[in-house]
């Protein structure tokens, strides 16, 4: 087997794996799990979302203007 044929096969397999991963990541079946995982950094030790402090948000938005 020629090295160029082997390189072509590896390239095609890598592209197929990439397309498979993209399809898996964008599938609607996994959306709920990914949304939950996206919120993990914002949870406190008890697993609840912290209460929003409107004064801090108002101060930070005023500082950006």
Determine the number of helices (DSSP H) and then strands (DSSP E) in the chain.
3, 0
d(CA 22, CA 13): 14
Count of structural domains within the chain: 1
Q: 3-state DSSP helix/strand/coil percent for the chain, to nearest 5?
A: 75, 0, 25
Predicted local distance difference test score (pLDDT) of residue 21: 96
DSSP symbol at 48: -
Domain limits at 47? 3-64
DSSP code of residue 1: -
What pLDDT does 63 receive? 52
Tens digits of residue pLDDT in 6-60: 999 999 999 999 999 999 999 999 899 999 999 988 887 776 666 666 555 556 5
């Amino acid at each position: 087997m020629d090295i160029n044929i082997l390189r072509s096969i590896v390239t095609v397999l890598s592209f197929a794996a990439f397309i498979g991963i993209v399809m898996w990541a964008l599938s609607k079946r996994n959306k709920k799990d990914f949304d939950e995982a996206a919120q993990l950094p914002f949870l406190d030790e008890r697993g609840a979302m912290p209460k929003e402090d409107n004064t801090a948000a108002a101060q930070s938005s005023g500082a950006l203007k």
